[in-house]
Structure 1
Amino acid sequence: MLEAINLHKRYHQGEIDVVAVDHFSYRFPAGLTAIVGPSGSGKTTLLNLLAGFDVPSEGEVRLDTTPLSTLSEDGRSEVRLKHMGFVFQQWNLIPTLTALENVAFPMMLAGLGLKERSARAAALLEAVGLGPRGKHLPSKLSGGEQQRVAIARALALNPPILFADEPTGNLDSASGARVVELLLHQAREGRTVILVTHDLELARKAERILHLRDGRLVRVEDLTPASAAVIPTLDR
C-alpha cells in the first residue's frame, strides 16, 4: 500500500518559496490511477516524491508502514529496486545492451543468477509481444517497441507498484494504444499502477483520476462501474 500523507514540497528560488505540491493526501489502491493537471501543476514533482526520488518538505510517503523519508538514499534506492517499476516517456534503455539484456539488468542488480534472469527476461519480452526481438539493440527497435521493452524491464522483479510518466508521449496512436493495454493488464493483475499524463482521453481509461491544480488535489473522479456517476469535488 502506497500512501501520501499531507505531502508538501516547496523550493527556494532566491528569496521566494515556490510550492510544487501543496498538502496532498491520498491512499493509492490496487488498479490504475491517473494523475492529470495543466503544465506546472506538480504532477512530476508528486511522482518523484511518491517514488522516493525526492523527499518532502512536510508530510510523508508511506510504503505499507515505512515512511520513505526516514530511509537513507541507498535505502530508498533498494525500495525502488524491490517494490517499484518505472516507465518513462524517454524509455531510458541502455543503448549498448540488447532488449533481453536491458530487461535482465534490474535482476542483475538484485543478484539473480544468469540463467534465472535470462529466462525471466525472455518470458517478459514474450509477454509484451517482443520475443523474437530480444537480441536487437534499442537503435534497431521502433519507438513503440522500445517502450514495450521498458515495460518489460519495469516488471523484471515483479514489483507491486508501477509508475508511468507520460508513457505514450513519444508514440504514434497505434503504438500508444498497445502500451496502454499493457499497463491496463498490469492493473487488472492487481498491481498499483500510477499514471501521470496530460492526455485526458488516456486518463479516462483509469479506474480513478486525480486532478491537480497548483500542486493541490482538487478533484477525484471515480470511474469504476459501481460509482462512475459519483464525482467528488475537493475544490477549496
Structure 2
Amino acid sequence: MTSVLRAENLGKRYRQGEKEVVALEGFTFAFPQGSTAVVGPSGSGKTTLLNLLAGFDLPTEGGVYLGELALNRLSEDQRAEVRLQHMGFVFQQWNLIPTLTAWENVAFPLLLAGLPPKARKERALELLERVGLLERAHHLPSRLSGGEQQRVALARALALDPPILFADEPTGNLDATSREQVASLLFEAGEKRTLILVTHDLELASQADRILHLKGGRLVRVATPAPG
C-alpha cells in the first residue's frame, strides 16, 4: 500500500502517415494516496495518460514507476501481473462477463489470483454487500440496471484490495441517481488508496483531492478544489 505511482517526463508520440502526433509530452507527477482527477478537452491526452500509467501502453519517452519498479522495462506478461496485484479498474463500459452472476464477476480476479472457491465467494459477497447489492448476487448482468452493473464493476475492481484504483469516465453512462451512488462509493474506496479518475465531468472531478488539467498533451495546472 506504500508504493507510490509516479510518472517522470512521460511522453507518447504516434505516426499518422507522414505526420507525427504528440499525444502526451513531458508529464511528471507522483500520485499520492487519495483521489486525483484528470480533466481536459477531448484530445488532451487523458486516455493516453491512463493507458501509460496502467501499463496498457508503453511510452515513447520517460517512464512510469511503481515504487522503484519501472513498468516500461517489464514484459507484457509482467505488466499484466502488476495490474492484477496492484491495480483495480472501473471503466465507462462496465465490461461485466454476461454469462457470470454478479458475485462470479466480482470473484473473477480472485480466481486469476489463485484463491480457493470458498474464499472467493466469501470475499465477493462481502464486497457486494459493501456496494449495497448483496441481494442481487445471483443475478446475471442483463438483469441489473446500469448503476447496479457499475457498482458490481467497482466491487470487482476492489476484489484484491489494490493500492491503486483507476476509473475512466465511471459515471458517463449513468443517470443522476446512479452517478451519485457510484461517485460516493468510488471516493470512499479512494480514501485509503490511490484513486486516479479520468473524467469530462467537472462536478465529479471537484470531489477529488486534487485535479490535474491537461491541454494539448501537457499538464498545465494542478488544482485543489475548494472544500464543500
Query: Which TM-score bucket, shorter chain as reference?
Result: over 0.9
Query: Alpha-carbon deviation of 1:62?
Result: 0.1
Percent of aligned pairs sharing the same letter: 68
Q: Name the Cα RMSD after superposition.
A: 1.0
- From 123, 143, 146, the equivalent of 2:126 is 123
Aligned residue type for 1:193: L
Aligned residue type for 1:203: A
SS at match of 1:122: helix
1:180 matched residue in structure 2: 183
Deviation string for 1:168-226 (max 9, x for gaps)? 000001000000001110122x110000000111100001000000110000002376x
Q: Could you list the runs of 5+ residues in structure 2 that have no partner in the other structure?
A: none
1:232 matched residue in structure 2: none
User: Under a length normalisation based on structure 2, what TM-score does the superposition of the two structures give?
Assistant: 0.97
Looking at structure 2, the residues matched to 207 and 26 of structure 1 have their Cα atoms a distance apart, in angstroms, of 15
Matched, 1:134 2:137: yes
Q: Could you list the runs of 5+ residues in structure 1 that have no partner in the other structure?
A: 229-236
Looking at structure 2, the residues matched to 126 and 160 of structure 1 have their Cα atoms a distance apart, in angstroms, of 21
1:213 matched residue in structure 2: 215
Looking at structure 1, the residues matched to 226 and 129 of structure 2 have their Cα atoms a distance apart, in angstroms, of 30
Tell me, yes or no, if the aligned pair for 1:21 and 1:45 is still in contact at 8 Å: yes
Query: Alpha-carbon deviation of 1:70?
Result: 0.6
Looking at structure 1, the residues matched to 59 and 41 of structure 2 have their Cα atoms a distance apart, in angstroms, of 21
Tell me, yes or no, if the aligned pair for 1:208 and 1:224 is still in contact at 8 Å: no
Looking at structure 1, the residues matched to 26 and 58 of structure 2 have their Cα atoms a distance apart, in angstroms, of 14
Tell me, yes or no, if the aligned pair for 1:86 and 1:164 is still in contact at 8 Å: yes
- From 72, 76, 85, the equivalent of 1:69 is 72
The number of aligned residues is: 225
1:84 matched residue in structure 2: 87
2:168 matched residue in structure 1: 165
2:149 matched residue in structure 1: 146
